[in-house]
Amino acid sequence: MKKSYFEIQPWELVTHKFNDANNLVTESLTSIGNGYMGMRGNFEEGYSGTSLKGTYIAGVWFPDKTRVGWWKNGYPNYFGKVINAIDFISLKITISGTEIDLAKTPFEDYYQKLDMRNGVLTRSYIVNLSGKKTRITFKRFLSITTKELSVQQVEFEQLVGAAEIQVESRLDGNVKNQDSNYDETFWEPVTQKATATELFLSMRTKENPFNTERFTVSALADLNASKETQPAVAVQNELLVNDKRSFVISENERVSLLKRVAIITSRDIADAEHETTAEHILARTSKDYAELEAEQTAAWAERWATSDIEIAGDDAAQQSIRFNLFELFSTYYGEDSRLNIGPKGFTGEKYGGATYWDTEAYAVPFYLGVAAPSVTKSLLYYRHNQLAQAKHNAAEQGLAGALYPMVTFNGIESHNEWEITFEEIHRNGAMAYAIYNYTNYTGDDSYLANEGLEVLVEISRFWADRVHYSKRNDKYMIHGVTGPNEYENNVNNNWYTNYLARWVLKYTKSAYEAYGAKSKADVPTAELLKWQDIIDKMYLPNDEELGIFVQHDTFLDKDIRPVSALAAEDLPLNQKWSWDRILRSPFIKQADVLQGIYFFGNEFSLDEKKKNFDFYEPLTVHESSLSPSIHAILAAEIGEYDKATEMYNRTARLDLDNYNNDTDDGLHITSMTGTWLAIVQGFAGMRTWDNTLSFAPFLPKNWNNYSFHINYRGRVLRVSVASSVKIELISGETLQIKLYDKNFELSNEITVAVK
């Protein structure tokens, strides 16, 4: 049984305990964001115990010079990383001469709550100093109605005796990343200013030989106290401005301080206009905390109205799906096509905060279901806008066409692990699959016919150059790759990679024949013939006796044994075994063959799905956060309902229960989409093959019912599953659907018994 760090409540993360040993995990779990910026659940007043201080601005990054022992041709010149930005929530609190620090100061009645209905993080405790008791309550949120706005309030309630309180509000640019090389910093000062009511700090990323763009980030803080104070303003140094206020608080008295901060970046506003822009933002927003919170709550309510998944009978499942949805929407809501979704979002620094193939494989189907098509289209345009950079990446490897990066901020590859960056080329196929998925789901072929076709052609040229022809076998093969299962490197003929490459060539050829005459893409007849030859002769390893697709050429030569044969102390493998031992083992990090079966489910029989699932799932340790959701979906399809539920719980509570012992460095944002996929595509069996929407729901044993909304081709549907399935057309025109393989016309609602 995994440990829960918060109480099980449907809409909230709540704890009445504080333990330094768990602080990194709880900091991650209480992260907040608004798509424009975000932060970990750090303590405003500072904390000298175990902490990862982190505040991040979307699109602001640094090309940190790559340091490797042996640099080879084709290696990226830098490792791109999201960088810790201005700490604008910082406060220093002193009560009767004692600086408050929960690592040192005696406290009682600790309380912390993240309200997922509105994104408000609350924390309170009582400090007892020589018999005088003061309750301190912190509230903060990042506005989703004014993206640049941070709202923060600290309240002091004197319970026993009187106290002298000093609050030092800061804008602090003395920050660095946890993974900085040799503790280097990334910022230099631009401007500092402090007045009786405002603080202003502006700083710019340092020069770097690989800078394609230097970023300026500025913060303007407006301070309002409920009790008259005499502020003593001071500028500490070039990267820190602060405001000190002192007041005496009597027994039973309450005093609060509201700190509103506007954060501006050079991504949107010219440096010279940062201060005036921030002033305008603060001028047009309320100075009343209650009004600002009410506005935030109303805006979140609109989001939840059509995206919430309601579950009855399992409060842990209910809490976890809302937690995952909340963190996803806090990270990305499609407002800025220049942005994408990092695996850790705003919650930590692992993976550099960059874009991975997770977006195309996992996030695209989620956003198609819960948001307007324009949100997903923004993700597609993100890749089209970086097509030139993808061609550069391929050229760096001496190959034709376009190779989309494994890790990037600007389209240029910025990750320096060879076996991942240059062998895990299946991500190129995921880019093409996202175009197909969008077109198939929405029925809108405008992107495919234009920008999408340009992307597909260049990806296909890469695959046609990356394969090689085996004269001995009269087959095309792909050697030296790493599949999604990163516990095997440099293998030959990874089934998933080969299948995906063939599919991309087939899909591109078909799209070119349909739309090529009107597009910018130009593919000579000889090239099309070469593509067809590869399609016809692509080698796909399989084993007829076992009835499975073989993960790669030599996989069955391994010491094949299930995960159940391992001792408990062996897991997780990535924290217990050497990398060499992992690579030689038969154990699988995440779905590989099964990933392909999930993508192209209409191309395989139910018997093929079952045989491959039954063979590969027992070998899978699920130490990739992306793994459980795919297994949940396929398990549901083949009737393994208990396994589907087990895998759902694992993906849904991966971070909440710290399954892989790695929540401390941030949440698994992109894999959180898998929670939604496991319910909608898994439990409810939603499919969209052949331009037809279909469902085949089942009800997990310990659930009483569940329901959700989806957007589909201009319509909004509500699906409710209990002893019967009810599908309602909330808005839009009549729709032809399938339910348990029977055709229905949905004009109002349909109800049938669950099978």
Tens digit of pLDDT for each residue in 656-684? 999 888 899 999 998 899 999 999 999 99
Chain centre to alpha carbon of residue 196? 40
Mean pLDDT along residues 515-521: 92
Peptide bond into 572 cis (omega under 30): yes
Q: Residues 6 or more apart from 298 whose CB is under 8 A from it?
A: none
pLDDT at residue 70, rounded to an integer? 59
Q: What is the spatial distance between Cα 448 and Cα 508, in angstroms, rounded to a whole number?
A: 10
Whether the per-residue pLDDT at 732 is higher than 80: the answer is yes
Sheet strands side by side (includes 705-712): 310-312, 705-712, 715-721, 724-731, 749-753
What's the burial of 507, exposed, middle or buried (CB within 10 Å: 0-12/13-18/19+)? buried
Whether the per-residue pLDDT at 370 is higher than 70: the answer is yes
Structure confidence at residue 237 as a pLDDT band (50, 70, 90): confident
pLDDT at residue 660, rounded to an integer? 85
| Numbered ranges of CATH 2.70.98.40 in the chain | 31-306
Handedness of CA 633, 378, 40, 80 (dihedral sign): positive
pLDDT at residue 661, rounded to an integer? 87
pLDDT tens digits, one per residue of 444-473: 999 999 999 999 999 999 999 999 999 999
Angle at 398 between CA 434 and CA 394, to 5 degrees: 20
pLDDT tens digits, one per residue of 351-362: 766 788 889 999
The domain 372-621: what is its CATH number?
1.50.10.10
pLDDT at residue 71, rounded to an integer? 64
Mean pLDDT along residues 57-64: 90
pLDDT tens digits, one per residue of 125-147: 999 998 999 999 999 999 999 99
| Numbered ranges of CATH 1.50.10.10 in the chain | 372-621
What's the burial of 106, exposed, middle or buried (CB within 10 Å: 0-12/13-18/19+)? exposed
pLDDT at residue 1, rounded to an integer? 45
Q: What is the spatial distance between Cα 492 and Cα 59, in angstroms, rounded to a whole number?
A: 37
Q: Which helix (H) or strand (E) holds 113?
A: strand 107-115
User: What SS3 state is found at 238?
Assistant: coil
Question: Do residues 628 and 674 make contact, with C-beta atoms less than 8 angstroms apart?
Answer: yes
Q: Which helix (H) or strand (E) holds 296?
A: helix 289-307
Which of 750, 707, 713 minimizes the C-alpha distance to 733? 713
Handedness of CA 721, 723, 729, 735 (dihedral sign): positive
Question: Do residues 216 and 266 make contact, with C-beta atoms less than 8 angstroms apart?
Answer: yes
Structure confidence at residue 67 as a pLDDT band (50, 70, 90): low
Q: What is the spatial distance between Cα 286 and Cα 445, in angstroms, rounded to a whole number?
A: 44
Q: Which class is 31-306 in CATH?
A: mainly beta
Q: Does the active-site annotation cover 486? A: yes
More confident residue, 333 or 456: 456
pLDDT at residue 181, rounded to an integer? 66
Tally of CB atoms within 10 A around 20: 13
CB-hemisphere CA count at 13 Å for 608? 16
pLDDT at residue 182, rounded to an integer? 59
| Numbered ranges of CATH 2.60.420.10 in the chain | 684-755
Whether the per-residue pLDDT at 243 is higher than 70: the answer is yes
pLDDT at residue 68, rounded to an integer? 58
Q: Which class is 684-755 in CATH?
A: mainly beta
Lowest mean pLDDT among 115-129, 165-179, 596-610: 165-179
pLDDT at residue 353, rounded to an integer? 66
Q: What is the spatial distance between Cα 682 and Cα 697, in angstroms, rounded to a whole number?
A: 8
Q: What is the spatial distance between Cα 342 and Cα 357, in angstroms, rounded to a whole number?
A: 10
Mean pLDDT along residues 59-76: 75
pLDDT at residue 347, rounded to an integer? 93
Q: Which helix (H) or strand (E) holds 381?
A: helix 373-384
pLDDT tens digits, one per residue of 264-318: 999 999 999 999 999 999 999 999 999 999 999 999 999 999 899 999 999 999 9
Whether the per-residue pLDDT at 122 is higher than 80: the answer is yes
* Phi, psi for 129 (deg, rounded to 5): -115, 105
Whether the per-residue pLDDT at 692 is higher than 50: the answer is yes
Chain centre to alpha carbon of residue 575? 23
Q: Which of 45, 458, 486, 623 is catalytic?
A: 486
pLDDT at residue 16, rounded to an integer? 97
Mean pLDDT along residues 651-658: 94
pLDDT at residue 2, rounded to an integer? 59
Whether the per-residue pLDDT at 407 is higher than 90: the answer is no
Q: What percent of the chain is modeled with pLDDT above 90?
A: 84
